[in-house]
């Protein structure tokens, strides 16, 4: 396999101006004709024209109308090369044959439950026709689609429908024209039996946009929330960024077979149906929230990604980091900002930190890849979004907006780089960003240590920072980064102290806004070691550091437990209140893990119980915030902090604390469940959602006690629930404990929802992720369950992905989890390399475990790498994991 490097980027020698595509869709083959106007970059000089192509049967190729003969071009398994094409503009016409009905990779043109659909990002267009399949080739497309009218009554592609009609033999056609230049990865085609929910959005400049969400007929009622989300997103982008939609039609199609969440093809978004379909009975609050966020995300790409796209795939975060940031902000504005921030930071910690500390660690802008699909990662997306957020933290809302405006002014219609975004932010604000660009090129999570001291004679308070960026593959030594640290200081009553000035590098800087002191200031930490001294601080404060998580770092401070309990109670920055609880939770869990490993009895610190109790009973707090604040840090997070990760100890300790809290706060939890029950019909709004979140968290605590009365309570909740959020939470609560209640309620749930594959997938996950010892056997059995299908990515993510989410069983000491995963990865790889690669990633941190586990995991990785015909996708991850 060949590695591709950012530093080898070269401008293309030929540009494509217009592309006219013609698809004749059929049951045993599809014929694709493409007619491209090619413009040499430098006229008069001849270079070879290299077209990408994969799994294509070439039927014919013509240049300026003349059929080319075998000796006029070179064809290998990945390319079609014209050695010396004309040095003036010319027309290339290529006819290929493809077989979508056999395409299990779900990349290129394929079939999903009888319908045709496409997925071209990153490099799937080359599975449709020969093309320069790279994002800096931007062309205007037309697309003519013809197919059997009965089987495929709906024919969709990008842009505007300009013609349609009937043909002979029961066939019909549609001709689409997209007026905007686009890279091939944004091309889309859908054909099939689909019905749409229609609505209209009028943009603020008065353009009437038809909105259509397509799905199979019986699911149309479940698209109301998606439509509502789309309209909210369109409005929000106008209000917050001044960005309007630019065509008269916007289509979304929901398909059941899709490798990822969704795809932002110009004016024809294609979605995994689990991110479109929702009804109170079949989707949870979490599903409703994801749908809102992802519909927003794909819509926002119309500007950040489509109108301004990436020069090359290394720049992926240019569109993804920015668009994730935009969808995070959108969701924050639609719900609770703090809770959304907590959820996003948890996600970063749970998934991105481990990636950044493992063999697949890569910068937000990777330096190289074997298979681009492997770099649609939490680093490029979520850490990338944190990088965008830092610009905003540094520039403020209006400065950030100025930067965005300049970015679009300069680059609309172009394929650009991360530096271009950086330059727009900098130039629009005349900002000094020193070494900020390192965020794009250095991998690893910076570790920042802070020590504090108070001087009562001078009334000064000093914070000393030191930073270190850990080595990552290919980057043994790092430079210090530019880290914005938002700070507040609390007085002894827990109020924010006014901040007036700070002494730094020999200068006293005043900090104020319009002449008034502020309660939060952003320090710019740029050196390995650095001190900031606050003046006019009348007594020793408690510092609130990294407010709202102002930079994607690990923070290590000298705050005492008392300080942390104080912050948990008082910090005006709600994010840091949650964070204080989490730091306490992490410390507690780590010390109990040590006790457990030394066979000491486990005892829970009463202060922690009290802290949790006061949060739980604080009626002034947002209920979802309470639910988050009383949830312990995840097992992975704790394992990450250990020298040698010990899944059994961490799991035992987390269960112990959970049960201990449940039994000590039993009365409070029972009241919480009672007070937050409601018989009102389901509504997805903040008030009801937070109520359900808190109730469900309390119920999970209670049911962990495995006591008859509480199981009955949960069973009653299960039976009386009128929506999936509460029903599934009750099921999950009951399923914690093996036994009769669990078995019968799981069986009941399946009987009830057998007909709804999205609900059944949750049922699969719930069983797969179970910590019941030896659960690998159940998962193996479920592989043969009628509801499972290894060709459907959602089912694989539910069952196999679910199993990987259970550390005790994946890392079972007898190696059974590893062996199971190793076998299934090889089986998947033959069908769908992208999905297989996602699953093999669960092995990547094998070196974090003890020697016995390491040896067992290594055997599986070696088995995988040695397999015949292994895909590049899986090879890249498995071989890098072994390196």
- Residues at the contact surface with Zn ion, assessed by CB under 5 A: 320, 323
**Binding window for ligand B3K (CB under 6 A); candidates: 72-80, 256-264, 759-767, 864-872:** 256-264
Choice between 38 and 122, CB closer to ligand B3K? 122
Residue 263 sits in the site that holds ligand B3K (CB under 6 A): yes
As measured in angstroms, the least distance from the Cβ of 319 to Zn ion is 7
**Binding window for ligand B3K (CB under 6 A); candidates: 297-305, 388-396, 733-741, 850-858:** 297-305
Q: How far is CA 372 from CA 377, 574, 796, in A?
A: 10, 38, 21
Which of 348, 308, 307 shows the shortest CA–CA distance to 324? 348
Burial of 601 (0-12, 13-18, 19+ CB in 10 A): exposed
DSSP 202-257: E-TT--EEEEEEEE-GGGGGGGHHHHHHHHHHHHHHHHHH-----SSEEEEEEES-
CA distance 465 to 531: 6
190 and 118 in contact (C-beta within 8 Å)? yes
Residue 260 interacting entry, from ligand B3K, Zn ion, none, C-beta within 5 to 8 Å by type: ligand B3K
**Binding window for ligand B3K (CB under 6 A); candidates: 145-153, 295-303, 358-366, 551-559:** 295-303
Apex 50 CA angle, 48 and 55, nearest 5:
150
Candidates 93, 264, 298, 579; catalytic one: 298
Angle, helices 316-334 vs 418-429, to 10°: value is: 60
Choice between 122 and 497, CB closer to ligand B3K? 122
Helix (H, G, I), strand (E, B) or coil at 761: helix
Q: Which of 139, 260, 733, 821 binds ligand B3K (CB under 6 A)?
A: 260
Residue 726 sits in the site that holds ligand B3K (CB under 6 A): no
As measured in angstroms, the least distance from the Cβ of 135 to Zn ion is 13
Q: Return all residues near 356 (Cβ < 8 A) that are at least 6 apart.
A: 379, 383, 443, 444, 445, 472
CA distance 462 to 450: 10
Residue 299 sits in the site that holds ligand B3K (CB under 6 A): no
Alpha-carbon 284 to chain mean position:
19
Burial of 444 (0-12, 13-18, 19+ CB in 10 A): buried
Cis peptide bond N-terminal to 122, omega within 30: yes
Which residues, numbered 376-435, are part of the site for ligand B3K (CB under 6 A)?
376
Residue 373 interacting entry, from Zn ion, ligand B3K, none, C-beta within 5 to 8 Å by type: ligand B3K
x-marked contacts with ligand B3K along 69-108 as a string, rule CB under 6 A: ----------------------------------------
Tokens of 242: 């001044």
415 and 138 in contact (C-beta within 8 Å)? yes
As measured in angstroms, the least distance from the Cβ of 440 to Zn ion is 18
CA distance 577 to 628: 11
CA distance 179 to 797: 37
Choice between 32 and 120, CB closer to ligand B3K? 120
157 and 145 in contact (C-beta within 8 Å)? yes
CA distance 604 to 653: 10
Choice between 311 and 848, CB closer to ligand B3K? 311
Within 13 Å, how many C-alpha atoms sit on residue 837's CB side? 25
Choice between 382 and 726, CB closer to Zn ion? 382
Tokens of 736: 């914690």
Choice between 356 and 373, CB closer to ligand B3K? 373
Q: Which of 136, 298, 356, 563 binds ligand B3K (CB under 6 A)?
A: 298
Cα dihedral 321→327→328→333 (10° resolution): 150
Pairing of the two strands 521-525 and 208-215: unpaired
Residue 575 interacting entry, from Zn ion, ligand B3K, none, C-beta within 5 to 8 Å by type: none
List beta partners, residue 214: 196, 253
As measured in angstroms, the least distance from the Cβ of 274 to Zn ion is 16
Helix (H, G, I), strand (E, B) or coil at 139: strand
Q: What is the 3-state secondary structure (H, E, C) of 12-61?
A: CCEEEEEEEEEEECCCCCEEEEEEEEEEECCCCCCCCEEEECCCCEEEEE
As measured in angstroms, the least distance from the Cβ of 301 to Zn ion is 6
**Binding window for ligand B3K (CB under 6 A); candidates: 259-267, 280-288, 506-514, 815-823:** 259-267
Pairing of the two strands 507-510 and 79-82: unpaired
Q: By beta-carbon distance, which residue lies closest to ligand B3K?
A: 121
Which residues, numbered 320-339, are part of the site for ligand B3K (CB under 6 A)?
320
As measured in angstroms, the least distance from the Cβ of 665 to ligand B3K is 41
As measured in angstroms, the least distance from the Cβ of 692 to ligand B3K is 28
As measured in angstroms, the least distance from the Cβ of 298 to Zn ion is 7
Which residues, numbered 349-378, are part of the site for ligand B3K (CB under 6 A)?
373, 376
Residue 376 interacting entry, from Zn ion, ligand B3K, none, C-beta within 5 to 8 Å by type: ligand B3K
As measured in angstroms, the least distance from the Cβ of 388 to ligand B3K is 14
**Binding window for ligand B3K (CB under 6 A); candidates: 294-302, 329-337, 535-543, 671-679:** 294-302
* Number of residues counted as binding ligand B3K (CB under 6 A): 12
Choice between 301 and 691, CB closer to ligand B3K? 301
Burial of 866 (0-12, 13-18, 19+ CB in 10 A): exposed
x-marked contacts with ligand B3K along 118-147 as a string, rule CB under 6 A: ---xx-------------------------
Choice between 262 and 553, CB closer to ligand B3K? 262
Choice between 264 and 640, CB closer to ligand B3K? 264
CA distance 382 to 165: 45
Choice between 14 and 381, CB closer to Zn ion? 381
CA distance 764 to 780: 12
As measured in angstroms, the least distance from the Cβ of 301 to ligand B3K is 6
Residue 795 interacting entry, from Zn ion, ligand B3K, none, C-beta within 5 to 8 Å by type: none
Residue 121 interacting entry, from Zn ion, ligand B3K, none, C-beta within 5 to 8 Å by type: ligand B3K
CA distance 133 to 262: 20
As measured in angstroms, the least distance from the Cβ of 872 to ligand B3K is 13
Residue 266 sits in the site that holds ligand B3K (CB under 6 A): no
Helix (H, G, I), strand (E, B) or coil at 76: coil
298 is catalytic: yes
Residue 263 interacting entry, from ligand B3K, Zn ion, none, C-beta within 5 to 8 Å by type: ligand B3K
Tokens of 810: 């994946």
Residue 875 interacting entry, from ligand B3K, Zn ion, none, C-beta within 5 to 8 Å by type: none
As measured in angstroms, the least distance from the Cβ of 380 to Zn ion is 10
526 and 483 in contact (C-beta within 8 Å)? yes
Choice between 307 and 547, CB closer to ligand B3K? 307
x-marked contacts with ligand B3K along 831-850 as a string, rule CB under 6 A: --------------------
CA distance 535 to 462: 9
Choice between 20 and 320, CB closer to Zn ion? 320
Residue 264 sits in the site that holds ligand B3K (CB under 6 A): yes
Choice between 268 and 810, CB closer to ligand B3K? 268
Binding site for ligand B3K (CB under 6 A): 121-122, 260, 262-264, 297-298, 301, 320, 373, 376
Catalytic residues: 298
């Amino acid at each position: 396999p060949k590695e591709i490097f950012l530093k080898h980027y070269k401008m293309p020698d030929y540009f494509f101006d217009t592309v006219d595509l013609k698809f004749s869709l059929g049951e045993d083959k599809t014929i694709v004709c493409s007619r491209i106007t090619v413009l040499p970059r430098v006229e008069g000089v001849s270079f070879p024209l290299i077209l990408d192509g994969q799994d294509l049967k070439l039927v014919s190729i013509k240049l300026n109308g003349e059929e080319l003969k075998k000796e006029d071009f070179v064809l290998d398994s990945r390319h079609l090369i014209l050695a010396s094409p004309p040095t003036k503009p010319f027309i290339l016409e290529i006819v290929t044959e493809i077989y979508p009905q056999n395409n299990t990779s779900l990349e290129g043109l394929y079939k999903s439950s009888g319908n045709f659909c496409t997925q071209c990002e990153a490099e799937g267009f080359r599975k449709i026709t020969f093309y320069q399949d790279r994002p800096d080739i931007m062309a205007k497309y037309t697309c003519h689609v013809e197919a059997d009218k009965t089987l495929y009554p709906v024919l969709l592609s990008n842009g505007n429908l300009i013609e349609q009609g009937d043909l002979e033999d029961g066939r019909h056609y549609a001709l689409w024209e997209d007026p905007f230049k686009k890279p091939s990865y944004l091309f889309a085609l859908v054909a099939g039996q689909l019905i749409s929910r229609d609505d209209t959005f009028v943009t603020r400049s008065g353009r009437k946009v038809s909105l259509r969400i397509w799905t199979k007929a019986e699911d149309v009622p479940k698209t109301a929330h998606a439509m509502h989300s789309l309209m909210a997103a369109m409005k929000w982008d106008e209000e917050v960024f001044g960005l309007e939609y630019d065509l008269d039609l916007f289509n979304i199609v929901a398909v059941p077979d899709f490798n990822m969440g969704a795809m932002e093809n110009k004016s024809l978004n294609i979605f995994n149906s689990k991110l479109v379909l929702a009804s109170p009975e079949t989707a949870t609050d979490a599903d409703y929230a994801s749908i809102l966020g992802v519909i927003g995300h794909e819509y926002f790409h119309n500007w950040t990604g489509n109108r301004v796209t990436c020069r090359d795939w290394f720049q992926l975060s240019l569109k993804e980091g920015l668009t994730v940031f935009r969808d995070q902000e959108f969701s924050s504005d639609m719900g609770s900002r703090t809770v959304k921030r907590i959820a996003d930071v948890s996600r970063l910690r749970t998934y991105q930190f481990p990636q950044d500390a493992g063999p697949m660690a890569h910068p937000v802008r990777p330096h190289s890849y074997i298979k681009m699909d492997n770099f649609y990662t939490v680093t490029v997306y979520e850490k990338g979004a944190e990088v965008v957020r830092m610009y905003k933290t540094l520039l403020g809302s209006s400065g950030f907006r100025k930067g965005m405006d300049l970015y679009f002014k300069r680059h609309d219609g172009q394929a650009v780089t991360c530096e271009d975004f950086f330059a727009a932010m900098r130039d629009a604000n005349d900002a000094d960003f020193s070494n900020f660009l390192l965020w794009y090129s250095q991998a690893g999570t910076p570790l920042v240590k802070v020590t504090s001291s108070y001087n009562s004679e001078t009334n000064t308070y000093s914070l000393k920072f030191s930073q270190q960026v850990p080595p990552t593959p290919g980057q043994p030594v790092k430079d210090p980064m530019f880290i914005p640290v938002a700070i507040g200081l609390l007085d002894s009553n827990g109020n924010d102290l006014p901040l007036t000035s700070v002494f730094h590098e020999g200068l006293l800087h005043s900090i104020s806004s319009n002449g008034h002191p502020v309660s939060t200031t952003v320090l710019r930490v740029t050196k390995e070691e650095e001190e900031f001294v606050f003046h006019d601080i009348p007594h020793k404060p408690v510092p609130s550091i990294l407010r709202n998580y102002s930079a994607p770092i690990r923070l290590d401070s000298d705050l005492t437990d008392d300080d942390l309990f104080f912050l948990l109670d008082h910090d005006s920055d709600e994010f840091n209140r949650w964070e204080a609880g989490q730091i306490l939770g992490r410390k507690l869990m780590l010390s109990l893990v040590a006790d457990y490993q030394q066979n000491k009895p486990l005892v829970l610190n009463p202060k922690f119980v009290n802290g949790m109790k006061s949060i739980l009973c604080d009626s002034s707090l947002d209920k979802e915030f309470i639910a988050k604040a009383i949830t312990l840090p995840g097992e992975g997070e704790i394992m990450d902090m250990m020298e040698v990760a010990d899944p059994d100890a961490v799991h035992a300790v987390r269960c112990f604390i959970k049960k201990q809290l449940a039994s000590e706060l039993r009365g409070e939890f029972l009241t919480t469940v009672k007070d937050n029950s409601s018989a009102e019909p389901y509504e997805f709004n903040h008030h009801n959602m937070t109520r359900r979140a808190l109730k469900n968290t309390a119920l999970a605590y209670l049911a962990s006690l495995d006591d008859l009365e509480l199981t009955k309570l949960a069973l009653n909740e299960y039976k009386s629930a009128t929506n999936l959020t509460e029903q599934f939470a009750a099921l999950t609560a009951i399923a914690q404990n093996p036994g009769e209640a669990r078995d019968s309620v799981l069986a009941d749930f399946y009987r009830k929802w057998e007909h709804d594959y999205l609900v059944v997938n949750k049922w699969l996950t719930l069983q797969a992720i179970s910590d019941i010892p030896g659960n690998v056997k159940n998962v193996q059995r479920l592989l043969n369950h009628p509801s499972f299908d290894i060709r459907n990515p959602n089912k694989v993510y539910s069952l196999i992905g679910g199993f990987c989410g259970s550390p005790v069983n994946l890392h079972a000491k007898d190696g059974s989890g590893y062996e199971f995963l190793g076998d299934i990865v090889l089986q998947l790889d033959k069908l769908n390399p992208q999905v297989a690669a996602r699953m093999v990633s669960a092995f990547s941190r094998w070196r974090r475990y003890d020697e016995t586990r390491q040896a067992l995991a290594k055997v599986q990785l070696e088995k995988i790498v040695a397999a015949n015909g292994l895909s590049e996708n899986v090879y890249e991850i498995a071989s890098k994991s072994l390196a």
